[in-house]
């Protein structure tokens, strides 16, 4: 059996992808030499749970857990908002989830995953939309400041489903292939 690198995510609508790409483009043009991997617009997503490398036989277990979690949560709205960064490592757009609906969905995923015998996620859940990963932290202060300084007009959208993706690493960057979609509210 093969091994696949998989994660559960919320896709973002075209309007968010386009606005995020425009936001990145201005900063990219100003810092052409920076060692930064910018996420391609079609790859933008909000990670709900990263499972990492799993045996193919485990995919049905993960899918069952995802289906259970999705059925337990009704559709809800969130907002993609102001730019943020994890130090000089990652540039992202914040997710405004005032009612904690995304956090609740993540908790349902964790509970269903644990019940299925999958090991717990180490990191606490901080929903965000990653736009770039910085490969070298040297001299990137101005780039991070420029990114954080650009206004981003918040966009609200409805979360209707989550998607189980396989991440394939290639020289051209990551490719994300949808394995299965899980509508919220069953």
Q: Per-residue confidence of the chain (186 residues) as pLDDT tens digits?
A: 689 999 999 999 999 999 999 999 989 999 988 899 999 999 999 999 999 999 999 999 999 999 999 999 999 999 999 999 999 999 999 999 989 999 999 999 999 999 999 988 877 899 999 999 999 877 899 999 999 998 999 999 999 999 999 999 888 778 999 999 999 996
What confidence score (pLDDT) does residue 120 get? 82
* CB 92, CB 47: distance < 8 Å: no
pLDDT attached to residue 179: 97
DSSP per residue, 63-115: HHHHHHHHHTS--EEEEEEEEEEETTTEEEEEEE-TT-HHHHHHHHHHHHHHH
The predicted pLDDT at position 1 comes to 63
SS3 content of the chain, % helix, strand, coil (to 5): 30, 40, 30
State the Cα–Cα distance between residues 59 and 65, nearest whole angstrom: 10
- SS3 string, 20-41, reads HHHHHHHHHHHCCCCCEEECCH
The pTM for the full model equals 0.92
What is the structure's pLDDT at 171? 81
Residue 44's pLDDT is 95
Element (H, E) at 16: helix 14-30
């Amino acid at each position: 059996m093969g091994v696949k690198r998989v994660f559960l995510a919320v896709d973002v609508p075209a309007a968010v992808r386009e606005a995020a790409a425009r936001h990145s483009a201005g900063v990219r043009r100003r810092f052409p030499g920076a060692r930064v991997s910018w996420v391609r617009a079609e790859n933008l997503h909000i990670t709900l749970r990263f499972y990492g490398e799993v045996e193919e036989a485990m995919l049905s277990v993960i899918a069952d857990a995802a289906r259970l979690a999705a059925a337990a949560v009704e559709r809800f709205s969130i907002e993609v908002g102001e730019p943020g960064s994890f130090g000089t490592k990652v540039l992202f757009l914040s997710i405004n989830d005032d009612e904690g609906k995304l956090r609740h969905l993540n908790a349902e995923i964790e509970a269903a995953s644990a019940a299925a015998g999958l090991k717990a996620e180490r990191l606490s859940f901080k929903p965000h939309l990653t736009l770039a990963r910085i490969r070298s932290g040297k001299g990137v202060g101005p780039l991070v400041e420029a990114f954080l300084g650009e206004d981003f007009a918040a966009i609200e959208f409805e979360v209707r489903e989550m998607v189980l993706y396989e991440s394939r690493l290639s020289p051209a960057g990551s490719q994300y292939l949808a394995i299965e979609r899980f509508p919220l509210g069953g």
